[in-house]
Amino acid sequence: MNSTEKSQWKTLDRIVEINSHWVKLIAEHLENTEGQILEYWRVERADSVVVLTIQDNKLLFPAPMYRPGIGEVTLDFPGGRVPAGETPAAAVPGIIKKELGVTEDAIARIGPINAIGWAINSSFSNQKLYGFIAQLHPHVIVNPKSICAAYSVTPAGIRDLLKDLNCLQCRALLLEWQNQTNFRF
C-alpha cells in the first residue's frame, strides 16, 4: 500500500478498547479505498527481543515455557518484551539474566541480527521483533538447571535444532543469523 492508499483509509469509530498490563485490544470500523466499511481488531503490544545466546560454539536454550496461545510447552531462545523507555539492545542483558541466570558481566559481546524491527503481524499488531546474538565468556559457568538444551552452531547442529524448534520468530532469527556472512563470532 502506498502512502496515498494509506491516507484514504479512514477510522470511523472505535468499537472496543480493552487495556491490560500486557496488551491493548482495539476494535475499530475502518473505511477502505473502495468505500467498504470493515471491522478490524488489533492489538498494541511492547516490542519483543529474542536472543540467540552462544557459549563454546553452542546455542543455549532455557527451560521450555508453556505458551497459552497454542496450549503447549515450546523450546524457544531467551526472549521477552522491551520495557517502556528502554531500547531493544538495552533489554538483552536483563533477558539473559532472567532466562539463563547469568549477569551482564558474563556477556562477552552482543550484536544485532536485524537492526530494524520486523513486524510480527502487521494486520493485527503493532509489535516488532528484534533479534540479537549474545556470546557468553567461555569461562562463565551457566547453572545446568538453567539450560534445557544446547545445539552446536555447525550446519549439522543447526539442522538438528530446526527439527526441534517450531517458534517462527526463533526460526526466522536463527536463519537470518546463519545467512549473515559478515557476522561471525
103-157 pLDDT, tens digit per residue, is: 999 999 999 999 899 999 888 999 999 999 999 999 999 988 899 999 999 989 9
Q: Bigger pLDDT: 123 or 171?
A: 171
State the DSSP H helix or E strand holding residue 31, giving kind and residue range, or none if neither: strand 24-31
Confidence of residue 2 (pLDDT cuts 50, 70, 90): low
**Amino acid 7: pLDDT:** 67
**Amino acid 182: pLDDT:** 44
pLDDT above 90: residue 81: yes
**Amino acid 5: pLDDT:** 53
**Amino acid 185: pLDDT:** 44
CATH class of 48-179: alpha beta
| 161, 171 contact by CB (below 8 A) | no
Collect all residues with Cβ–Cβ distance below 8 Å to 177 and sequence separation of at least 6: 52, 113, 131, 133, 183
State the DSSP H helix or E strand holding residue 92, giving kind and residue range, or none if neither: helix 88-100
**Which of 60, 41, 53 has the alpha carbon at shortest distance from 92?**
53
pLDDT > 70 in the chain, percent? 94
CA pair distance 171, 174, nearest whole angstrom: 5
- Amino acid identity for residue 113 in this structure: I
pLDDT > 90 in the chain, percent? 81
Could you tell me the residue ranges of all domains in the chain? 3-44, 48-179
Mean pLDDT of 22-44: 94
**Amino acid 126: pLDDT:** 92
Q: Bigger pLDDT: 69 or 131?
A: 131
| 92, 112 contact by CB (below 8 A) | no
**Amino acid 183: pLDDT:** 44
* pLDDT tens string 5-32: 556 899 999 999 999 988 999 999 999 9
DSSP tag of 21:
S
**Which of 57, 62, 51 has the alpha carbon at shortest distance from 145?**
62
Is 140 exposed, middle or buried (CB count within 10 Å of its CB: 0-12, 13-18, 19+)? middle
